[in-house]
Amino acid sequence: MTRGEYMENYFRPELTEDQIRGISSIGLAHMGDAVFEVLARAWLCAHGKATGKGLHRAAVALVCAESQAERAERILPVLSEEERAVFRRGRNAQVHSVPAHASRAQYGEATALEALFGWLYLRGETERVNELFCMMMEG
């Protein structure tokens, strides 16, 4: 895709490896944040938590940095070498602000997780994203 050309389906982006490599860790985390949010909301609806304020609170609790960091620990042992490299790159991203309720380490882990999910999503590896998400939500 060259400058001026547009994708036809943003639900299933088709980017080249070079295009994906050109996206910053923060850009990947931005995409991954949205992917994680959609998965968390779907998980909550599927588990009977789809009620007004309670649903919103439950979603916020799942997508906050502390929760993401804790859940990320569950998938680290099963990541491929390439996935680990993306995760490390995301963890080392230069973030300029950290939420008051999270430590810098937790925020780094959450950013790493989001970068990984963004990278996988943009590569079209939605089955892998789902597999990792399900592992994170177990127990």
- What are 85-114's pLDDT values in tens digits? 999 999 988 776 777 778 888 999 999 999
Helix (H, G, I), strand (E, B) or coil at 87: helix
| Burial of residue 135, with CB atoms counted within 10 A of its CB: 0-12 exposed, 13-18 middle, 19 or more buried | middle
User: Which residues are marked as active site?
Assistant: 33
Write the DSSP symbol of residue 50.
-
Write the DSSP symbol of residue 102.
S
3-state helix, strand and coil shares in percent for the chain, rounded to the nearest 5: 70, 0, 30
- For the stretch 41-81, pLDDT in tens is 999 999 886 677 788 889 999 999 999 999 999 999 999 99
Lowest-pLDDT range, 56-65, 118-127, 129-138? 56-65
| CB-based contact 45:87 (threshold 8 Å) | no
* CA atoms of 127 and 102, how far apart (whole Å): 30
* CA atoms of 74 and 58, how far apart (whole Å): 20
Radius of gyration of the chain (CA): 15
